Amino acid sequence: MATDQSEGFIDIDGARLEYRRIPATQPDRPTLVFLHEGLGCVAIWKDVPDRLAAATGCAALVYSRRGYGNSSPAPLPRPITYLQYEAERVLPAVLDAFGLADVVLVGHSDGASIALLAAAGPLAPRIRLAVAEAPHVLVEDVTVAGIEAVTDLYRTGPLRERLKRLHGDNVDNAFWGWSDAWLTPAFRFWNIEDRLPDIRVPLLVIQGVGDEYATAEQYDSIAARSGGPVSVLVLDDCGHTPHRDQADRVLAAIAEAVAAAIATAVLPCEAHSRHTLHLD
């Protein structure tokens, strides 16, 4: 089992993954596990894990997936199934390594898709709540167009240097692993909507109206198809990163959902409800 140090590395499935831990301030609470976006890492979350840990009393674990931040490089090209691999093989191994049997998953973008896939699989009994911020369950035209635009910026502008501050020597591995996977013609058919009925744990789905990579089709599909209770928070004046664009509202909504999940155990057999809240 991993040590209790606040920062370090852990060996998972042949890779060395960087992590950061924040201790709980209240006992017997689930651990918040943060799953970063397709170009993210531990550092990209900034103070979000600290603020949520303080607001909920929970411990937090943040880690960089293989190919990101200071973790080991990833073999390229990434397969079309790379998100499923992270949800079904890597994430369970990470939770096992830290002895975590009661967690709240907080995922953004790619990380949100990983959280949904994990909630639909064998990890579900260990998940108290899954927060899916700007998730993808299917590939839209706007998704492809957004990634094509960012890829042009990476080739011709200062984006590579900005990302290098996050990923160091992993910068090309991180970017091309993500971009090439999503822009592969076969990835256009990637779709995890058939997994949504298997989700029984509570979901909080958060999306900005101005999301550069997705439309309401994403959260509408999750709300309609999920087998468990779903709350959807839609935010105006907000793009693909709600925890940055509308930080106070997003963190308050997550803290409230965590408190509700702690107070009320939602059993898989209970009838599920759907609630959509639109904030301007």
Q: Does any domain span residue 1?
A: no
Q: In whole angstroms, what is the distance from residue 37 CA to residue 247 CA?
A: 16
Range of the domain at 207: 7-279
Which SS3 state, helix, strand or coil, does residue 9 take?
strand
Q: How many angstroms separate the CA atoms of 18 and 194, rounded?
A: 32
Q: Evaluate if residue 270 carries a pLDDT over 70.
A: no
Asked whether residue 155 is domain-assigned, the answer is yes
Task: Identify the pLDDT of residue 153.
Answer: 96
Q: Is residue 258 part of a domain?
A: yes
What are the pLDDT digits (tens) for 185-222?
A: 999 999 999 999 999 999 999 999 999 999 999 999 99
Q: What is the CATH number of the domain that holds 236?
A: 3.40.50.1820
Question: Residue 167: inside a domain, yes or no?
Answer: yes
The pLDDT confidence band at residue 276, using thresholds 50, 70 and 90, is low
Q: What pLDDT is attached to residue 275?
A: 55
Domain annotation covers residue 2:
no
Least confident of 94-98, 231-235, 253-257, 272-276: 272-276
Is 41 among the domain residues? yes
Q: Which residue has the tokens 């990101």?
A: 68
Domain count, the chain: 1
- pTM reported for the whole predicted model: 0.94
- Residues in contact with 197: Cβ distance below 8 Å, sequence separation at least 6, in sequence order: 225, 226, 227
Q: Which residues pair with 203 in a beta bridge?
A: 130, 230
Q: Is residue 150 domain-resident?
A: yes
Q: What is the mean pLDDT of residues 217-236?
A: 98
Cβ neighbour number for residue 253 with a 10 Å cutoff: 21
Q: How many CA atoms lie within 13 A of 40 on its CB side?
A: 21
Whether residue 269 lies inside any domain: the answer is yes
